[in-house]
Chains A and B, each alone.
Chain A
Amino acid sequence: MQIARLDGVTKRYGRTEGVRELDLDVGGGEVIGLLGLNGSGKTTLLKLLAGLLFPTSGSVRVLERPARAARADVVYLGEGDALWGWMTPRDAERLFAGLYVDFDAGRFGRLCESLAVPRRTARAMSKGERGRLRLAMALSRSARLYLLDEPLAGIDLLSRERILRSIVQEWHGDETILLSTHEVAEAEGLFERVLYMKEGRVVLDAQAEELRERGRSVVETFREVLS
């Protein structure tokens, strides 16, 4: 089943092109790695799918609707902190439970436990702890499409491992996850499909299994394709 589709999408920021002439089909139940160097268009692509950006040309459809109209069925975890300083995990639960009908408070509690999220205000948390809280909030929803933009960035090794473990545990097989990361080696085991982006284009769209059958790892292909 198709979850999202981009047809000839170009997004310009003034004279710069974030993505250009992008065609992409995203199917249901896929875990897709979005890999590329800085400025390759990963965040732009995720924001277009989230409906946070509108394409300059082309069309973005998510669940057969314009992307923004589908936002109730989409989780977007952006790069910023996106937490108020006064917010505790309990406040976060109250906020999401009030705003999203698909929020599962029990799941949130379990995730906070497994991700070792402290019961402090966000102001008193470290960057890694805030990242883990945000991930717990995001994964506690039963959405169709999860767009995770650099959830591992700037986070210590143990926290990164916890986060990846939680993503695996909470994936039930029918949701689609698009995960952009620079921690390619650590996340590679997660991906079924990998999109390599360069200068606003998808230069390689491959199944991770196929790459491995050819004796190439996701990391090796990354170096080969993007260097």
Chain B
Amino acid sequence: MRAFRCLVWLEFRRSGVWAAALLGSLAFWAWGLFQVRAVDVAQQLGIRLLLLGIAGAIGALVLALMVGRLRGDTRAGLFQMLLMTPPTGYVHVGTRYAFAAATAALYYMGLGGLAWWTLRLSGLPLDAGTVAQLALGLPFYALGVSVIPLLAWTLLLVTFQSAYRVSGTGWIPGTVMALGTPFALRWLVNGIERVAYALPGWPVLGSVGADLIEAAQGIAEDPAVSVSLEHPALVLPQEPLWIMLALAVVLLLAAGRIWQEVEA
């Protein structure tokens, strides 16, 4: 436990500036959302939601870069030094991942909070249940299906690179990994599509009341963007979440195993 705490501290020292910058950027996005001055309320809502989407994508990129830059440890003997320490590779990989995932959770919960604020700015009343879903449920789902596996994949890639370097014969498995990823991703998406909704769906924002539906329809001038009364609740499939979380665990175990076996 002492070693784990120490490695978390090490992660904080190495990547704390990145994490602080990312979390600080929430203030910038809040300012940006507040600056949207479109006359039409629906248009305002659309622009704000677009901004939130951009913030989400940039956050994922920054987090991946934060994890990815750790390959710099390979230089100057830092990887050697860490490899010589008593904690296993799984602990080293797990701590790096835990720090990145915790930063991601805080950031996306912040974005969830901004989404709630956006809806409030647009004059949409929300009950407590919906606010909780927006600030906790949706960020958790979004993280689970995208950022969590992305970070695990990035960590596996940088561990692989730190371990074997893209030199000598190491480039062969490296190239296979890089080229194979899009195919694996396609196969994964097809598989998820096939099993989606086999389990009961997760009614995210299921507590959105009739008032919200009416209000949303009231502000939407374009019928295409109006919310259909026939589908008042957003029901998300559970399968992608569990499949992607399981995939993240597998990727992390592979990264830890590489760490255990590698030469330096």
Q: In the complex the two chains form, is A82's CB within 8 Å of B81's CB?
A: yes
Binds A, one of B4-12, B110-118, B194-202, B223-231: B4-12
* Separation of A98 and B91 alpha carbons in the complex (Å): 14
| Residue ID in chain A nearest B264 by CB atoms | A52
Q: In the complex the two chains form, is B263's CB within 8 Å of A99's CB?
A: no
Q: In the complex the two chains form, is A50's CB within 8 Å of B84's CB?
A: yes
- Per the CB 8 Å criterion, the residue count for chain A at the interface is 27
Is A74 part of the binding interface, using a Cβ–Cβ cutoff of 8 Å? yes
Q: In the complex the two chains form, is A78's CB within 8 Å of B80's CB?
A: yes
* Chain A neighbourhood of B81, CB < 8 A: 78, 82
* Chain B neighbourhood of A54, CB < 8 A: 263
* Chain A neighbourhood of B83, CB < 8 A: 52
Is B20 part of the binding interface, using a Cβ–Cβ cutoff of 8 Å? no
Q: In the complex the two chains form, is B14's CB within 8 Å of A84's CB?
A: yes
CB within 8 Å for A74 and B84 given contacts A53-B263, A86-B13: yes
Is B182 part of the binding interface, using a Cβ–Cβ cutoff of 8 Å? no
Q: In the complex the two chains form, is B13's CB within 8 Å of A52's CB?
A: no
Partner of B10, one of A52, A81, A82, A95: A95
* Shortest distance between the CB of A188 and any CB in chain B (Å): 27
Q: In the complex the two chains form, is B76's CB within 8 Å of A99's CB?
A: no
Contact with B along A73-96 (1 / 0, CB 8 A): 010101111111011000100110
| Residue ID in chain B nearest A122 by CB atoms | B76
**Which residues of B57-112 have CB atoms within 8 Å of chain A's CB atoms?**
75-78, 80-81, 83-87
Q: In the complex the two chains form, is B85's CB within 8 Å of A100's CB?
A: yes
| Residue ID in chain A nearest B2 by CB atoms | A98
Is A72 part of the binding interface, using a Cβ–Cβ cutoff of 8 Å? yes
* Chain A neighbourhood of B54, CB < 8 A: none
Q: A47-B263, A98-B6 are in contact. List 14 more A-B contacts (CB 8 A).
A: A51-B84, A52-B263, A71-B84, A78-B81, A80-B75, A80-B77, A80-B78, A82-B78, A83-B78, A84-B14, A97-B6, A98-B3, A98-B7, A99-B85
Task: For the complex of A and B, list the 7 residue pairs with the smallest distance between their C-beta atoms, beginning with the closest.
Answer: A98-B6, A80-B77, A82-B77, A72-B86, A81-B76, A82-B81, A80-B76
